[in-house]
Amino acid sequence: MKLNIRKTIMATVVATMAVGGMTTSCTKDLDVTPINPQEEQALDPDALFNKVYASFSLTGQQGGAGKGDIPKEIFDNEGMSGFYRMAWSLNEFSSDEAGWVWSDPGVPELLHHTFSASNQFSYALYYRLYFTITLCNSYLELVADAQKCAEVRLIRAMNYMYVMDLYGAGPMSTKISSEYAPYYTRSQLFDFCESELKDCMNDLADEGKNTYGRVDKAAAYLLLARLYLNAQVYTGTARWDDAMTYAEKVIKSSYYHLNTTGKNGYSAYQMLFLADNNVNGAQYEAVMPVLLDGLMTQSYDAMNFLVFSNYGETESAKVPSGTNNSWGKCARVKGKLVEKFFGSAAAPQTDDLAEMVAAAKDDRALFFSKGYSQYVTTEASDEGFSCVKFRNVRSDGQAASAVNFVDTDLPLLRVAEAYLTYAEASIRKNGQNSTANGYINEVRKRANATQESSYTLDDVLDEWAREFWFEGRRRMDLVRFGRFGGQSEYLWEFMNGIPTGGSFSSNFNVFGIPTTDLDANPNLQGHQNPGY
């Protein structure tokens, strides 16, 4: 039976299947079993396949709250327990981009680089990743469809890439087993992800030949390019040529491309983050979109989280978010990020988005600044500009399907990453060169930003920020450039808890493996990351 994943589909798993033993699932058998052993399991392959994809946007079986995937003893707030929201929090709050007003458990430690292995977001994301890996293993053991299995293998590899990047190491299993999962080092996880992505590639659909929302060969190319770009961090050995090879496969795609067309006053860049980004031309840039629908995929994760957290009534009055679900601008932009667009000059005080981007000479400067200071000096205040990049409005003027939740798909992987990946890898290997410069200029041209004749590595790091700010990847880029832990050259607000910024240990370049896993799995004991 053919499964179509559409924008309006609600991903659910068959009611008789649940995940049990979450406190041991990622250390022992990675099993999926009924909570009640007397219940019969009735596998619905399509429901399980849908659930694998839905793991990127939903938090449970009942919408925004109720019947959560992650047990309450691990994370007692289901709304915060989604994959994207937790990964975003680890990568953005710990970086020079995002701040937060509320004192949610675990957030201050991320902002101040004082997190332990028990940090609530780090701990829960670890289990979320292995929850999805468990679903993938179950599907692959029970289903023989070559293309769908290849898609699930890619998603499993992607989850292991997050384990490798965030935690450095961890348990690894590709099957349902009663044995304790073995400990894999970062290099071993790298080798597995590389091999898995290459091996499943032949069974993936050709570029643009799959249903929108499902992955194809281009997703494997882009994940491999990301893997190789960070290879020196993960394994100690640079793989710049490989990063360029796979990035260029995406750049040269006959289907995917940068969106360069705006509409009805929205810039080409804005089109990527609007409620009709599945049909307005931006779909050709989204190599892996996470599907959201205001009626059918309700959660406080993914694009819902990005829209709700960045708007208050003040912002929505001038730059409509398209929802009635505002969290009062609890997220804020750090001044260090604004500097990427304005340098040492002060950004304008304005509630006019056209005025802001004109002053920045860059369409990506989607900040709301009126009434707010550029720099965060007191964390409990609403200092710091607002992000008005993500919206639940359509470029064609039609209404979104709902205002309580959003229709805007999340471009989890998009083509612009390939351009900057190639440019960075090329400059690292060959120094400044015309091909790298040309690819950076293609990205800047789309944003109506000035095109330069040459770029340094520092310029590339800043370009990563300008293009992908608030998209949940910043920490990874800072680590790769040596601008995160273990250095004092580059500082931002409240880094190490100091208002003007201070250095912190390089041990915090990865997060700690949860103590419960170390205690439960003999294969992990003695393998905690340094400093935890």
Task: List, as one string, the DSSP characters of 170-227.
Answer: EE--SS--SSPPPEE-HHHHHHHHHHHHHHHGGGSPPTT-SPTTS--HHHHHHHHHHH
8 A C-beta contact, residue 202 and residue 47:
no
pLDDT attached to residue 31: 38
Write out the two tokens for 319.
Answer: 């730059």
Bridge partners (DSSP) of residue 202 are none
Distance CA 28, CA 51 (A): 22
pLDDT attached to residue 79: 84
Residue 102's CB is within 10 A of a number of other CB atoms, namely: 12
pLDDT attached to residue 41: 54
Distance CA 215, CA 209 (A): 10
pLDDT attached to residue 63: 66
Residue 492's CB is within 10 A of a number of other CB atoms, namely: 21
Residue 475, amino acid: R
pLDDT attached to residue 28: 37
Q: How do the pLDDT tens digits run along the chain, 532 residues long?
A: 222 333 322 333 332 233 333 333 343 333 344 333 344 456 789 999 999 999 999 998 876 666 788 888 888 888 888 999 999 999 999 999 999 999 888 999 999 999 999 999 999 999 999 999 999 999 999 999 999 999 999 999 999 999 999 999 999 999 988 899 999 999 999 999 999 999 999 999 999 999 999 999 999 999 999 999 999 999 999 999 999 999 999 999 999 999 999 999 999 999 999 999 999 999 999 999 999 999 998 999 999 999 999 999 999 999 999 999 889 999 999 999 999 999 999 999 999 999 999 999 999 999 999 999 999 999 888 899 999 999 999 999 999 999 999 999 999 999 999 999 999 999 999 999 999 999 999 999 999 999 999 999 999 999 999 999 999 999 999 999 999 999 999 999 999 999 999 999 999 999 999 999 999 999 999 999 999 9
| Distance, first Cα to last Cα, the chain | 48
pLDDT attached to residue 4: 32
Write out the two tokens for 409.
Answer: 């798909």
8 A C-beta contact, residue 285 and residue 415:
yes
Distance CA 147, CA 92 (A): 34
8 A C-beta contact, residue 491 and residue 93:
no
Q: Model-level pTM?
A: 0.93
pLDDT attached to residue 80: 87
pLDDT attached to residue 139: 97
The C-alpha angle 301, 303, 309, rounded to 5 degrees, equals: 75
8 A C-beta contact, residue 139 and residue 45:
yes
- The dihedral built from the CA positions of residue 275, 276, 280 and 285, taken in this order, carries a sign that is positive
Distance CA 122, CA 134 (A): 18
pLDDT attached to residue 65: 67
Residue 60's CB is within 10 A of a number of other CB atoms, namely: 18
Bridge partners (DSSP) of residue 290 are 410
Nearest to 478 by CA among 96, 16, 55, 27: 96
Question: Torsions phi, psi of 385, nearest 5?
Answer: -65, 165
Nearest to 242 by CA among 202, 198, 199, 284: 198
* Contacts of residue 477, Cβ cutoff 8 Å, sequence gap at least 6: 461, 464, 465
Distance CA 101, CA 99 (A): 7
Distance CA 427, CA 193 (A): 25
Fill in the DSSP letter of residue 253: -
pLDDT attached to residue 504: 98
